[in-house]
Amino acid sequence: MITLTTSPPETARGDMLVWFAWQTGKKRCGIDCAPVRKLIQPVWRAGDFTGRGEETLLLYPASAGRARIAAARVLAVGCGKVEKDHDRLREQLRTAAGRAATRAREVKARRVVVILPDRTALPAAEVAECVSEGLILGNYHFSGHRTVKKDEDPPVRVKRFVLCRNGLKAPEARRGMVRGEIAAEAACAARDMANEPGNYWTPARFGDFGRRLARATSLTCTVLGKQELKKLGMGGILAVNQGSALPPRLVILEYRTAGKNPTLLLVGKGLTFDSGGVSLKPAAGMEEMKYDMCGGAAVLAAMQGVAGERPEGINVVGLVPATDNMSGAGAVRPGDVITHYNGTTSEVVNTDAEGRLILADALAYGIRRFKPDAVIDLATLTGAVIIGLGHHRTGLMANDDSLADQIIAAGASCGEPLWRLPLGPEYTRQLKSEVADLKNVGGRAGGTITAACYLQEFVGNTPWAHLDIAGTAWNFTDKPYIPKKGPSGTGVRTLLNLIRHWNR
């Protein structure tokens, strides 16, 4: 929980008071709160804390005879030198706030008071938004299914963050705080989904989440089961599901404003566990394939954020095709030919290239039914994107330059960078099959691009972008507000930022 106070920082009671320090090179620490300045100034003057990035300083006012500070602890967090670029400046604030939340959890602080920085070039709302995001994302912990033993300390999370506006206008700071809270909580929801093991987070659970979200908000939810998918002819989803004991789902969430407004379609890969099917994956690391549904999690979580923010002037539809990919007796085999929703036939050369099969059906169906002005899909689609971009950038491919530029700007603004890769007929030719319209893999060369080219065959002329998050959905770049291991929730805040500033 996060709230805003207009009271002076030194009077706010809590387990910790946080101040963000900029590296200025001056002898005097730049803070207007006199009691906090008196506490930190000797350490600053001695050069033991200078505001450099990654620096933290934890002090105890009572032990130093500084009773004028109500909080039990004072934490100073270094931000480094003020960045001139606004995207980098936003990331500085988000990172510092994440570091503060991590330190607060380490000392088991339950109520943390945070002084908002007031000497940046950012508007008050953006300052509060970034700090709120960093605090909530950095406070994240998945307790999972572990039993805490008697001799162990249970994991502790901060129960309440209190922002001190520190000269910033309260209405603007409150607006940014709420926006940051909604986005961060949505990203944490995506992390929760992805952290669940495959025997807990099943295709049916995707449907349950969608229904609960619709009951609690203005969204509408439709969940299509196996029989309905058969009637629609969704051969890609059904083929991937053939070897599974669990039936598939197609989850549809709709946020509607007015028919005259543009419609954005979001599609997320909901592969709840990927064994590779008959083209079995190596055993080492296969447990991480419970994360193969991170694209679907991002879409559902983004719809949660949309329901919270209620943006005007845009309709948003989220689709999640959900199944697992197992090698049961009925599993699809290499060499089999399937027929997608739009009638396109595909030779399944490799059953481990299954994500594109379920996404193809969802894309074709979503475009035909909802007639969107643009469509974006997110998927942990290829290991090849990790070879190309590592765990630092999401791969982006698109048939529309304007849409691609907007997504890149949205990702840069919220600390989720993307890198655009090309598309072209020379790559699509690698998917030529001798027995069907397409084959589902085009060889190792350009694997990330040819996977996107497969999807491109199902979007027609609709402006479309594909985000391959295989390298960023988990084990993402080390940041204080991103878990060192496990899912990052990437994509959620990019989508919300894009929707806020939609301009087409």
- Dump the DSSP string for 369-386: HH--SEEEEEE---THHH
Q: Is residue 459 part of a domain?
A: yes
Give domain status of residue 298, yes or no: yes
Q: Other C-beta atoms within 10 Å of 77: how many?
A: 25
User: Cβ distance 361 to 234 under 8 Å?
Assistant: yes
Count the neighbouring beta carbons within 10 Å of the beta carbon of residue 373: 17
Tally of structural domains, the chain: 2
Q: Which of 281, 333, 420, 500 is catalytic?
A: 281
Based on the fold, state whether residues 200 and 118 are members of the same structural domain.
no
Instruction: Please give the backbone phi and psi of residue 343, each rounded to the nearest 5 degrees, phi first.
Output: 95, -10
Contact 480, 99 (CB under 8 A): yes
Residue 402: name the closest of 313, 504, 496 by CA.
504
Is the separation of the CB atoms in 87 and 71 below 8 Å? no
Contact (CB, 8 A) for 271 and 320: no
Same domain, 135 and 196: no
Task: List residues bridging with 249 in a β-sheet.
Answer: 322
pLDDT at 154: 75
- The Cβ of residue 307 has, within 10 Å, a number of other Cβ atoms equal to 19
Q: Are residues 81 and 227 in the same domain?
A: no
Judgement on whether residues 132 and 203 belong to the same structural domain of the protein: no
- Does any domain span residue 175? no
Q: Helices 86-106 and 401-413: crossing angle, nearest 10°?
A: 40
In a domain, 128, yes or no: yes
Residue ranges of the chain with per-residue pLDDT less than 70: 63-67, 504
Please give the helix or strand (H or E) that residue 303 lies within, else none.
Answer: helix 294-309
Q: CA-CA distance, 488 to 42, in Å (whole number)?
A: 39
Residues 76 and 223 both lie in one domain: no
| Angle at alpha carbon of residue 208, lines to 203 and 213, rounded to 5° | 130
Residues in the chain: 504
Q: Is 356 one of the annotated active-site residues of the chain?
A: yes
Give CA–CA dist 144/440, Å, rounded: 36
Alpha helices in 1-59 (DSSP H): 34-46
**397, two tokens:** 């491919």
Provide the pLDDT for residue 155: 76
For residue 309, being part of any structural domain is answered with yes
Same domain, 317 and 209: yes
Within this chain, do residues 120 and 227 fall inside the same structural domain, yes or no?
Answer: no
Catalytic residue among 105, 174, 249, 356: 356
User: Is residue 164 included in any domain, yes or no?
Assistant: no
Residue 460 lies in a domain: yes
CATH number at residue 7: 3.40.220.10
Q: How many C-beta atoms lie closer than 10 Å to residue 59's C-beta?
A: 18
Q: What is the largest CA-CA distance in the chain?
A: 82
Range of the domain at 367: 189-500
Regarding whether 310 and 455 lie in a shared domain, the answer is yes
**91 and 202, same structural domain?**
no
Whether residues 102 and 232 share a domain: the answer is no
Instruction: Using the Cα atoms of residue 213, residue 216, residue 217 and residue 218 in order, give the sign of their dihedral.
Output: positive
Q: Which residues contact 82 (CB under 8 A, 6 or more apart)?
A: 22, 89, 92, 120, 121
Distance CA 185, CA 306 (A): 12
| Residue 32 pLDDT | 77
210 and 134 in a common domain: no
91 vs 93: CA distance, rounded Å = 5
For the record, the structure tokens of 353 come out as 């290239």
Strand partners, 247: none
Residue 10 DSSP class = G
pLDDT score of 65: 57
Whose CA is closest to 116, among 105, 125, 103, 104? 125
pLDDT score of 503: 78
Domain contains 226 = yes
What CATH code is carried by the domain that includes residue 271?
3.40.630.10
Note the pLDDT tens digit of each residue in 71-121: 999 999 999 999 999 999 999 999 999 999 999 999 999 999 999 998 789
Domain finish residue from 139, 161, 181:
139
Residue-wise pLDDT for 129-138, tens only, equals 999 999 999 9
Q: What are the start-end ranges of the E strands in 27-169?
A: 56-59, 74-80, 111-115, 160-164
Q: Are 20 and 29 within 8 A, CB to CB?
A: no
Tokens of 26: 């001056």
Which residue(s) pair with 323 in the sheet? 271
Same domain for 211 and 358, yes or no, is yes
Measured between alpha carbons, how far is 104 from 116 in angstroms, rounded to an integer?
A: 16
Q: Which two tokens stand for residue 256?
A: 């509607």
